Structure 1
Amino acid sequence: MKGFRTNQMIAVDWKPNKQDKTPIYRQIVKYISEKIAAGDWPIGSRLPSQRDMAQTFGVNRSTVVSAMEELISYGILESDFGGGTRVASNTWSIRMSQPPDWNKHISNGHFRANLSTIQTINKKEFEPGYIRIGTGELAPELYPGKLVSRIFGRMPEKIPNLGYLGPLGLPELGQALSAWLKERQGIEAKPSNIMVASGSLQGLQLISVCMLKKGSRVYTEAPSYVKSLQIFQSAGMRLSGVPLDDEGITYWNMKEADSDSLLYTIPSFHNPTGTVMSEVRRREVMQFCQGLRMPILEDDAYGQLWFDENPPKSLKARDKTGSVIYMGTISKTMAPGLRIGWVVGPEAVVYRLGDVKMQTDYGASSVSQWMMTELLTSGDYDIYLETLRRELKARRDNALTALSQYFKGIATWNKPSGGFYIWLRLHCKVSMDKVFADALKAGILLNPGNMYDYGENHAIRLSYAYADPEDLRRALKILADIIEKHQKR
């Protein structure tokens, strides 16, 4: 019986022990057999090529061939001519029992898999040797280690216990956020209007599963960060992209919008384009959505990362009718590992989200919530942000200089006034999959624009926040050469 077919590529992270007296090909047979027996390599999964395995194992290809032939003879593997080698579903003729067909169970889940490009990025980001020019995260050297150590040094006398917290999170943090949002952003929100989440991404997921009807239409900018996720689609929502212009989302293109729809928007330092929605456009978007009684989900992950002047005030700060749900986070301003975000909305909304959150993780990290409370109430967070803005601006200027040097005539790009990203638009239509693959071979990990868009796209999301500035310049020179090579084909 043929196994369940899948494009899942098995990851191999093992090497044979060349000091062991057991023949190397037998070690390989044992390793693969045990991975399959444990269910780590599901039936139907595709193995890397023999050449790649030989390189990974550090052995001759003939050694791998011998091991593969033995495993195929056992019925553990099967060879597809032109399709490589896969884990077979045959009854094994050796003593190991056959594991469940995990791919069948995986495919039955409602949460959709990421695009293969995104899966590759998620894997390679944790491997050394790549210059990450698309990563939406602050560089490790920008992490405020001394500040965090100082804050943690004050924590023992501040924390009475580390027990479970209520549905909305730590009350002290809710109070601190309420005061900070009012002072810094003009958002009027009582603590009862604020739910602490494990990052704003969790807020998105909670909203998708407990606030929207299956089949609802979610409008987003095109391109949009949320298009690279499967959160809304997995919950049965229909995503519709709305074009951007220089002032933000062209809301008049939401032709079928109604009260059952929702607008997800990143108005300040948009991800991936860096666009800032203008003051006029913000007023118009609010009027349009309120006229339809259509709720707005405002993602303000980058709003505090302005360089020379504050962006226009947030949509939530203009909200007098409770039609905007606002999300903030410190994943972009400090570190994603702290897992702290917040959702601001009507009490009925945040309590509903909090109730579902209690059913999933029973609360964000208590330690991180106490730390964030101290950061806000001490004023240290605002002081830190001033330093971070200067550093990011210098990194942006470095990236713009490199682009002027290497991409003139190849692409156009924006000059962001804050945030992390430059939207690099290529002049010629080239295969972004091939550019991505060639860049990967050259040790460069990038984020192609088609991850974020609803149609064909020949752009690259360039982040100046993560890679070392000199590494970024070097990577951009190599990338320009790769693109020019593909343009000549």
Structure 2
Amino acid sequence: MFTTDWKPNKSSSVPLHRQITDFIKEKITNGEWTIGYKLPPQRTLAKELGVNRSTVVTAYDELIAEGLIEGKSGSGTRVVNNTWNLLVTMPPPDWTSYVKVGTHKPNLPTIQEINQAEFIPDIIRLGTGELSPNLIPSMAMKKIFHQLANREISYGYEEPKGLLPLREQIANYLKTIGIYASPSSILIVSGALQALQLISVGLLHKGSTVLTEKPSYLHSLNVFQSAGMRLMGIPMDKEGIQAKLVKQYKKQQKAALLYTIPSFHNPTGTLMTMDRRKQLLDTCQQEQLPLIEDDVYRELWFDEHLPKPIKSFDKNGLVLYLGSLSKSLSPGLRIGWIVGPEPVVEHLADIKMQTDYGSSSLSQWAAVEWFSSGFYSKHLNEVREQLKIRRDFTLDTLNKYFSDLAVWQKPTGGFYIWLRLLPLISMRKLFEIALSEGILLNPGNVYDHHAEQYLRISYSFAPLPEIHDGLKRLSMIVKMLAK
């Protein structure tokens, strides 16, 4: 999906095709579009720039005539030259070939489209998994940074495992949910996603298989696949991942570890029961299968406290526990943590130092203040109340417009409703038509290739009027495609 922040000036005396030609020339001569770069199709560029396709055709024809680009049937239009004196100088590197052979795989195409479309002005984001700007406590955040400005704090690099006062605060917080961990067994990371990256390169060898729920957020990422791993999904039921199948899958796939999101699972919203948590841990212990417990949604419960984390029952150091402030407080702080055996934490800390030399010290000091001041606990009460209102509003809206089009379960916390559409329609067409009408969706097939009739609906981000308007118009699109 091609996007650009440049637009031609339609009130200028310079013809539109000439403006586009100059824009592309500048991209090429500045080295932003290198030799081998594939230009967007004519229709795509015309739509993005708000001009007729014939205007783009004229611009491309001029660039072809000047020898800067070349169009071939079946392979599109590519940059083939960047300066007039190319023949008398050494050619520049073909960066396109470097990109193709890089070890880290690109995002799934749909995920790339979603990431880019999220910044389109006025788009209704029905699947975005983050707090609404209205739910992020900006005033309290300003107050905390103001307090930090009047304190003597360090602004340099912190020790490999992260700021000690923060690890002490997290150790105190973990006790409230049944996890007893010393600061030395805690590693501060830049969000739970970095934790997964460190685990993928630090603890697993190429060719390893990672077991996870089916569907799973992990399938929408390429973090493990890029490190040479395979993902294998285990079916879920209303209590969570089916622990009774773990032994079978572990044996068949020779799995190296299991990844789970037990609390308000992404994307299904499922809450794993206490019995299932214990059963899963028992099975993993019997199979000597390490377990990653991703618990970033834990504090977003609505009606009653959750079962204790799986980690709270772990007496053998089998579980690596991931937590974060990104879902409950602010994604911009980029603060998360890994809890595990000290040798593992020290190894991952060493890799993190090689990667970024530690998470932001300013963010870490801010997180210390959030925990120590009691602001975090107060904020959680407020955000739970607001998310519950949003959930109920979204469920009411779904009942109004989707009662005969879909089925779903009522989540008891977190961000998501896992919506299964009843009419058999093309999800790709639904995604494209909705996007053209200003509605951004998260199709289920990015979390599981077989989840073709599902959507991840989020009630955490979009304003309530946009949720109502977006779901109402989405129901009309579904009905149109179902005819």
Which category describes the TM-score, using the shorter chain as reference length?
Answer: over 0.9
Q: CA deviation at 1:179?
A: 0.8
Question: Does the residue aligned with 1:218 lie in a helix, a strand or coil?
Answer: strand
Q: Does 1:146 align with 2:139?
A: yes
Which consecutive unaligned segments of at least 5 residues does structure 1 have? Answer: 1-8
User: Is the alpha carbon distance of 1:470 and 1:186 closer, same or farther for their aligned partners in structure 2, counting shifts above 3 Å?
Assistant: same
Aligned twin of 1:177: 170
- Assess if the C-alpha contact under 8 Å between 1:37 and 1:99 holds in 2: no
Aligned twin of 2:383: 388
- State the one-letter code of the partner of 2:161: L
Aligned twin of 2:245: 253
- Assess if the C-alpha contact under 8 Å between 2:154 and 2:361 holds in 1: no
Q: CA deviation at 1:382?
A: 0.6
Partner Cα separation in structure 1 for residue 83 and residue 349 of structure 2:
52
- State the one-letter code of the partner of 1:306: W
User: Is the alpha carbon distance of 1:127 and 1:99 closer, same or farther for their aligned partners in structure 2, counting shifts above 3 Å?
Assistant: farther
- Assess if the C-alpha contact under 8 Å between 1:36 and 1:99 holds in 2: no
Residues matched between the structures, number: 477
Q: Percent identity?
A: 49
Q: Does 1:73 align with 2:65?
A: yes
Question: Does the residue aligned with 1:342 lie in a helix, a strand or coil?
Answer: strand
Partner Cα separation in structure 2 for residue 59 and residue 34 of structure 1:
19
Partner Cα separation in structure 2 for residue 58 and residue 447 of structure 1:
26
- Assess if the C-alpha contact under 8 Å between 1:242 and 1:253 holds in 2: yes
Aligned twin of 1:309: 304
Aligned twin of 1:126: 119
Aligned twin of 1:161: 154
Aligned twin of 1:487: 482
Partner Cα separation in structure 1 for residue 35 and residue 476 of structure 2:
41
- State the one-letter code of the partner of 1:325: L
Q: CA deviation at 1:99?
A: 4.1
Q: CA deviation at 1:247?
A: 0.6
> What does the per-residue CA deviation read over 1:2-27, in whole Å, with 9 as the maximum and x for residues that have no partner?
xxxxxxx5434323345666544333
- Assess if the C-alpha contact under 8 Å between 2:36 and 2:96 holds in 1: yes
Aligned twin of 1:5: none
Partner Cα separation in structure 2 for residue 306 and residue 16 of structure 1:
49
Aligned twin of 1:402: 397
TM-score, normalized by length of structure 2?
0.94
Q: CA deviation at 1:145?
A: 1.0
The residue correspondences of 1:8-157 to structure 2 (distance < 5 A) are 10-17=2-9, 22-81=14-73, 85-89=76-80, 94-95=84-85, 99-157=92-150
Which consecutive unaligned segments of at least 5 residues does structure 2 have? Answer: none
Q: Does 1:448 align with 2:443?
A: yes
Partner Cα separation in structure 2 for residue 381 and residue 439 of structure 1:
37
- Alignment counterpart, residue 202 of structure 1, candidates 171, 174, 194: 194
User: Is the alpha carbon distance of 1:404 and 1:20 closer, same or farther for their aligned partners in structure 2, counting shifts above 3 Å?
Assistant: closer
- Assess if the C-alpha contact under 8 Å between 2:16 and 2:55 holds in 1: yes
Q: Does 1:369 align with 2:359?
A: no
Q: Does 1:356 align with 2:344?
A: no
Q: CA deviation at 1:151?
A: 1.5
User: Is the alpha carbon distance of 1:298 and 1:17 closer, same or farther for their aligned partners in structure 2, counting shifts above 3 Å?
Assistant: same
Partner Cα separation in structure 2 for residue 142 and residue 206 of structure 1:
30
Partner Cα separation in structure 1 for residue 334 and residue 83 of structure 2:
48
Aligned twin of 1:219: 211
Q: CA deviation at 1:365?
A: 1.0
Q: CA deviation at 1:29?
A: 2.0
- Assess if the C-alpha contact under 8 Å between 1:413 and 1:423 holds in 2: yes
- State the one-letter code of the partner of 2:117: K
